[in-house]
Amino acid sequence: MKWNSYIHAQNVFIIGATWSVGRELIYQISDYDSIENNHTHPTRILGVANSKKILLSVDDTSYSGLSWTRDANINADITTHGIVLTAWYDSILWSLDILGISMSDIVFIDVTADGSRANLDFHLRVIKSGGSIVTANKNPLALSSIEEFYLLTQDRLRYLYRSSVMAWWPAVSELLNAYDTRNKVHSIEGCFSGTLAYICSGLEKWESFSSIVRDAHTRKYTEPNPWDDLSGHDVMRKILILARTAGFQISAEDITIKPFIDKGFSGYTSNEFFDQIEALDGAFEAEIRSSQAKWETLRYVAKLWFNWDTLQVSVWPRYVEKQSSLWSLQGTHNKVIITTDNFVTEFSRPWAGIQNTANSIRVDLAWLLKKRIA
């Protein structure tokens, strides 16, 4: 091994490497965290995977492992040079043998949107075997049982999930701190969807509902099928993760959820969906007109209240009055207000998006560095 002893690379395996967040993460690693940038802890990508193939770095003399510049096509490279291993997440674990590396010497990064039981089991196996994970994927945190959630997250320095909710802004960190110092949380309230914030902001300016949704889709603010945002499930998963982080032992079934538009719009392909929702334009216009006359405005809100041992968690479209701190949100801005025994904390920022989410994952990787060199 021809390594300089002053340089300690951090080995990573990126699962979900090919599209939005994963691809941006790889580009940022080569832009900022490489040996070429004089990084004393370069990030060394030893493996990448999409849903079909795995590509491994077999050159153990390289500080960078796999690397791509921004003009390179990562997906094409994985498709051409990757290997198909059928037992999916097992294959990722087996690849540690091919790489000749132990579980404690690599960080797995999950930037998929995989909500399968196999994905959750993979997270559990890594953590139980002494490994580390950084995840932007909310599903293992939201779909796990309460016991599994605490098993995953109990070691603060091996399971980092700050990128999964309000990536880059410290919602998860604040609640972990509150929990660890037994500072009781009374409420968590906020707007957690950049897409729905953008839609509400457009409605306020008298744009038609269907044209705002089309525009948000073109700007890639929505999921490929916008119903996935409008159903409220993504927001539900976020408040659930925050609630569990604060120590509340709840699951998805304990949350009351009302979608932004009627459930009847759920069964369409995205093209059909855009045509169907034109039928809602008139009703939205009338509602916004009447709410503005009352100095109210529409927001998609998630709220947790804890009062006298009673916990209530709801996600729903709500007209908020001018005094509400959710009133002034504009564009894709998200907001959270956390009230505990000792403090009220509030932050509002634009929706994280792809670049900030990738950046936030790199911040978590920096947290995991052991024996840091100046």
Ligand X SMILES: NC(=O)c1ccc[n+]([C@@H]2O[C@H](COP(=O)([O-])OP(=O)(O)OC[C@H]3O[C@@H](n4cnc5c(N)ncnc54)[C@H](OP(=O)(O)O)[C@@H]3O)[C@@H](O)[C@H]2O)c1
Contact residues toward ligand X (CB under 6 A) are 15-22, 49-52, 111-114, 136-138, 167, 352-354, 357
Q: What tokens were used for 224?
A: 């490929």
Nearer to ligand X, 35 or 239 (CB): 239
Minimum separation from the CB atom of position 361 to ligand X (A)? 9
Cα–Cα distances (Å) from 113 to 255, 343, 356, in that order, read 21, 34, 17
Q: What are phi and psi of 135, to 5 degrees?
A: -130, 135
Neighbour tally for 10: CB within 10 Å: 20
DSSP line for 38-56: T-SS-EEEEEEE-SS-EEE
Task: Tell me if 162 sits within 8 A of 318, measured CB to CB.
Answer: no
Minimum separation from the CB atom of position 139 to ligand X (A)? 7
Minimum separation from the CB atom of position 30 to ligand X (A)? 17
Neighbour tally for 116: CB within 10 Å: 14
Minimum separation from the CB atom of position 283 to ligand X (A)? 30
Spatial distance between the Cα atoms of 111 and 92, rounded to a whole number of angstroms: 14
Residues 6+ positions from 246 with CB-CB distance below 8 Å: 175, 178, 179, 185, 188, 304
Exposed / middle / buried, residue 165 (Cβ in 10 Å: 0-12, 13-18, 19+): buried
Task: Tell me if 47 sits within 8 A of 15, measured CB to CB.
Answer: no
Minimum separation from the CB atom of position 224 to ligand X (A)? 8
Nearer to ligand X, 306 or 351 (CB): 351
Nearer to ligand X, 132 or 334 (CB): 334
Nearer to ligand X, 111 or 203 (CB): 111
Tell me, what amino acid is at 154? Q
Secondary element (H or E) of residue 237: helix 233-245
Question: What's the distance, CA 334 to chain centroid?
Answer: 13
Minimum separation from the CB atom of position 269 to ligand X (A)? 17
Closest CA to 348 of 196, 163, 169, 161: 169
Q: What tokens were used for 318?
A: 């709500």
Minimum separation from the CB atom of position 173 to ligand X (A)? 16
Nearer to ligand X, 231 or 357 (CB): 357
Nearer to ligand X, 52 or 289 (CB): 52
Nearer to ligand X, 111 or 175 (CB): 111
Nearer to ligand X, 40 or 116 (CB): 116
Minimum separation from the CB atom of position 364 to ligand X (A)? 13
300 beta partners: 317
